[in-house]
Structure 1
């Protein structure tokens, strides 16, 4: 696909990912000579989407001047080492929090891909011979040398453009990217946080801009009222059965929030004192980043609400770092809680735990966030009686509990309100990073309620910025 980046010197925007899907965020801003990529995300979920990670990138990576990362999650950063391995040599701009977390996320991603390739080759269940990782740990180390932290609110020139990052309140370091080019301004929401994030301060209001690129993960729904009993009830039921509570949780931000909720419930006497195993080196490293930010009095954190991060030792928490200890968790000595990545059960150590725990009706699997199409988490939420892992189907006899209280994505009402809070409404809102029905519903609401053009762009579509 030709991005059309060289066809005009008029500022333009090209949608190279996250169009019609909730993963793979990649957006090119160009005036024909300068090229800035906003986010370099990995496609996840459905097989046809994952295959896009292997497709030739529409723009020669060596021709991209710089990359801006809105935050550290894999669907916004996970393609970056592939770009570097194929010739990208520019700066990667991001906040200090994103730089710290992206290093953890990308190292883990490379390790998992290398491990998955090794398992596939040993087990003979890959269609490719040999199975290969998308990128290696060495590619990641080269990539990290390109990260250039930029403070919130500090304009940063990139050739003929200016980039400013503003607080997005989604995870630590998450930002809204404001790009000025050729007299035009485009605002990228990244993943937008909620006004009431449990420990982070809310997103700032967007500035006036001619165009806005807006995520729509929850674009067709409102978050339900929080259920203060859901997790406690699930834990108590499982403990009464003598089982294991397995919580697939995103390593960045979600594990922190799950631990804080377990701490609250334990202090209130709502759950028994049982061992809690955090089986994710990435989650443990991210937890250290969050606690360091609290100690440094980061202005991203609500200091009062984040303070319990210092008190997690009051829980019976066991940090599982090595593979041997993780393997032992597949045969626990008694009732316990296991928190492990990934949050959608697409890879990582949680897959091995699911293999062992799903067939046992005493156990429960608690899903704590959005589950994209094509993921094992989505299959479990939708009532699958068997799921495929490592080349074979595993029966689902464990109780499956979906708890939506932990979502830190803005819902439809919050997204519309955020757009409306700009000092001047944008001429056009491009709705991305959502499943088709979600993106379409949000675009229709923005057009109907705010009276501005809102469209769902096609993958590869190129649009001009400004009137």
Structure 2
């Protein structure tokens, strides 16, 4: 794919902000800030979920990648970083600024993403389940390697000059290792991008850094219309494991390889230590999770668990490395526990396990976090009991359980509490990175409870950020 689209933001006086992604969905975060001489992109994520969203990944980027001077990342999850290999392939030549933790995780995640995309294209070509005669990956491992060469690690809190008048600081956001909120200064104005905020009571990650205030706030709204259940996720997991093991079944836990796998292992370790669950085999089938383990070991200042407990959670499970070992798990049968990526059942080895164990009623599929609309996880939660996997319809007779309280995202109350720490109210708040209902519900709460002007922007909408009141403009077609 070549970026031939030459659409440009409509010319405005002063600096502007364009929402190139994350504006009408919970994925694909991409925010373009422009001053009189330069362009900076905050986040460069993949769209996930519904096909109409995923197709945006194949469309030319809304502005020529070569016209962008710098990229800043809030964190490593693919809906915030996963389009970078395509951006660099199609002409971006600037630096990619990220926290040290995010840079380390992206070295693993972008290569893994590219490998899976290549593998999926090969599988589709071999088995003929793609509509394309010659399926091609969105990007390749070589594209990912080229993107990684452009990373610059930025220490937390240190100001970095990006381009033109723009400088940035990154402050911890909780959520996962390296996750940051980005404070971007442009033309004497400050714009804060929350990124994905973590929870103040997360068992694994430290609480987000307090909001320091900004003229313009761009906030996520993943859980903007709900509160996390006041239940103990560890006790929920205990009950699920015990009843599944009693049936002789397999507990299948789709989990993001970064953050969620560690949280799941932490709870399983504590349950095992106090004898609350049986001593059944536990497997982590995610090559990425093996690599991520060292990053958690080497960055104790970013999480809550002690060095001894870090070692215990990684000693708890057998880490599956080879494809042959992965295939053998599908022949083993229960009782056992398998933790494998991806968390929304959209790719990776979990799909092979789902195909093997989903049709059996003794087994349990445990969803442990947000399921974006249109993903297989979302369809399971909605009650569908047949999933399309590798071109075939697979019946799902296994129990489906949800542990929402294990989410690493701030809920609506957490987001409002974080905002209230501001020393002065922002002049404009833009509510992004949420499904329409979640974003609009949070917008209304911000207006009613904080008295701040808030709006939900449209995809590719552009706003001015250097006027007293930010005025909205549509991007030119």
With over 3 angstroms needed to count, the CA separation of the structure-2 counterparts of 1:263 and 1:37, relative to structure 1, is: same
Deviation readout 1:83-115 (Å, 9 max, x if unpaired): 000010100000010001011110110001001
Give the count of matched residue pairs.
461
Q: 2:270 aligns with which of 260, 264, 275?
A: 264
Q: CA deviation at 1:377?
A: 0.6
* Counterpart-to-counterpart distance in 2, 1:307 and 1:213: 38
In structure 1, the partner of 2:194 is: 189
* Counterpart-to-counterpart distance in 1, 2:202 and 2:94: 34
Q: Secondary structure at the match of 2:404?
A: coil
In structure 2, the partner of 1:173 is: 178
Structure 1, unpaired ranges of 5+: none
Deviation readout 1:112-140 (Å, 9 max, x if unpaired): 10011011111111111211000000001
* Counterpart-to-counterpart distance in 2, 1:334 and 1:357: 10
Q: 2:206 aligns with which of 193, 201, 205?
A: 201
Kept after mapping to 2: 8 A contact 1:266/1:272? yes
Q: CA deviation at 1:208?
A: 2.4
Q: CA deviation at 1:308?
A: 1.2
Q: CA deviation at 1:8?
A: 3.2
Kept after mapping to 1: 8 A contact 2:249/2:333? no
In structure 2, the partner of 1:301 is: 303
Q: CA deviation at 1:229?
A: 2.1
The aligned runs of 1:27-426 (5 Å cut-off) are 27-160=31-164, 161-227=166-232, 228-294=234-300, 298=301, 300-304=302-306, 307-312=308-313, 315=316, 317-426=317-426
Kept after mapping to 2: 8 A contact 1:6/1:33? no
* Counterpart-to-counterpart distance in 1, 2:464 and 2:400: 46
* Counterpart-to-counterpart distance in 2, 1:194 and 1:425: 22
Q: Secondary structure at the match of 2:138?
A: coil
Structure 2, unpaired ranges of 5+: 469-477
Q: Secondary structure at the match of 1:405?
A: helix
Q: CA deviation at 1:230?
A: 1.1
In structure 1, the partner of 2:28 is: 24
* Counterpart-to-counterpart distance in 2, 1:343 and 1:210: 35
Kept after mapping to 2: 8 A contact 1:214/1:431? yes
Q: CA deviation at 1:288?
A: 2.0
* Counterpart-to-counterpart distance in 2, 1:196 and 1:38: 27
* Counterpart-to-counterpart distance in 2, 1:426 and 1:442: 16
TM-score relative to the length of structure 1 = 0.97
In structure 1, the partner of 2:456 is: 456
Q: CA deviation at 1:303?
A: 4.9
Deviation readout 1:299-355 (Å, 9 max, x if unpaired): x22354x7511212552x111011111011111154110000000000000001000
* Counterpart-to-counterpart distance in 2, 1:287 and 1:245: 22
Deviation readout 1:264-312 (Å, 9 max, x if unpaired): 1011111001111100001121122112223xxx2x22354x7511212
* Counterpart-to-counterpart distance in 2, 1:3 and 1:147: 27
* Counterpart-to-counterpart distance in 2, 1:302 and 1:385: 38
TM-score relative to the length of structure 2 = 0.95
Deviation readout 1:242-270 (Å, 9 max, x if unpaired): 11111000000000000000001011111
Q: CA deviation at 1:3?
A: 5.8
Deviation readout 1:418-465 (Å, 9 max, x if unpaired): 111111111111000000000000000001111111000000100000
